[in-house]
Amino acid sequence: MVQALLSSHGVAARTRGGAQVAFSLHFVKPGTVSRASAKLLSELQAVRERAAYQVDLSFDADDVRRHLQAAAPLIEELATVVAAIPGLAADQVRAAWRHAQASVAARPRRSGAAVRRRR
C-alpha cells in the first residue's frame, strides 16, 4: 500500500528504507497519515528484515497473530487514505488483508512449534 500511495504521488523508491523516508515526507509530515502509523510501519518493517536476514530467528503462530493484530490499525488507516485517491482500490486492499488474517487464524496452533525462516 505504501508503494501504491507513493506511486499515486509520482514518487518511486528503490529501497524499503527509501520508501519509508518518502512515505514520511509525502504522507506523514503533511498529516495525511498519523505518526503512530508511521512508527508502526517502521517497527513492522524491522521485524520483516530481521525475519529475512537472521537465520536463527524463529516465529511461532502466536508471534504471527500478534504482528497481524498490531498491523490492523495501520492497514485500516492506509486503506482509508488509498480510498481517497482515484484509481486505487481500497476494497481490494481490505479484502486481501481479511484473507491474510483468516488464513493465519485457520491454521491450528502447535504448542512449542516454531516457524523458522531460513535463507
Q: Report which DSSP code applies to 34.
A: -
Residue type, 118: R
Q: How far apart are CA 118 and CA 107, in angstroms?
A: 21
Alpha helices in the chain (DSSP H): 2-8, 16-23, 35-53, 61-83, 90-106
Task: For 44-84, write each residue's pLDDT tens digit.
Answer: 888 888 888 888 888 888 888 888 898 889 988 988 888 88
CA angle (12, 15, 21) in 5-degree steps: 70
Averaged pLDDT, 100-112:
57
Q: Are 115 and 50 in contact (CB under 8 A)?
A: no
Residue whose C-alpha is closest to residue 77's, from 46, 43, 44, 32: 32
**Residue 103: which pLDDT band, with cuts at 50, 70 and 90?**
low
Instruction: For the chain, give the mean pLDDT.
Output: 80
pTM of model > 0.85: no
